[in-house]
Amino acid sequence: MHLDHDPAAPAGEPIAFDDFLKVDIRIGTVIAAEPYPQARKPSLLLRIDFGPGIGVRKTSAQVAANYTPEALIGRQVAAVVNFPPRQIGKVMSEVLTLGFADEEGRVVLFAPDQPVPNGSRLF
């Protein structure tokens, strides 16, 4: 599957609402962040607290072009929490942190505009 980051690209193929409900997108708070220079694109290793139901998960996120580790600590982010873990270099990524491409194609994280409880699910 190829993801098109072009804002002028047409919408993807229609899916059933039940297919959307299978994707478990939750809010968590970044509790640790550090550079991940082994990644192909500028990345950070993140540990994200998704609350008592899911707990703390780790991920490699291609966000180093727009964020420093210090700026992410305490920030809430959205992530898909029910994909199988994926090996990213030496790290097993446990969630997919969500973002959008800016005009230069760098990732801008997706987050609520007000604090919500960790583990809250997108609906």
Query: What is the Cα–Cα distance from 8 to 101, expressed in whole angstroms?
Result: 12
Q: What is the residue type of 59?
A: T
User: Mind listing the pLDDT tens digit for each residue in 86-113?
Assistant: 998 888 999 999 999 999 999 999 999 9
Global confidence as pTM: 0.91
Break the chain down into helix, strand, coil percent, rounded to 5.
10, 35, 55
CATH superfamily of 25-104: Nucleic acid-binding proteins (2.40.50.140)
Every domain of the chain and the residues it spans = 25-104
What number is the average pLDDT over the span 116-120? 98
Q: Is the per-residue pLDDT at 26 higher than 80?
A: yes
Q: Is the per-residue pLDDT at 2 higher than 70?
A: no
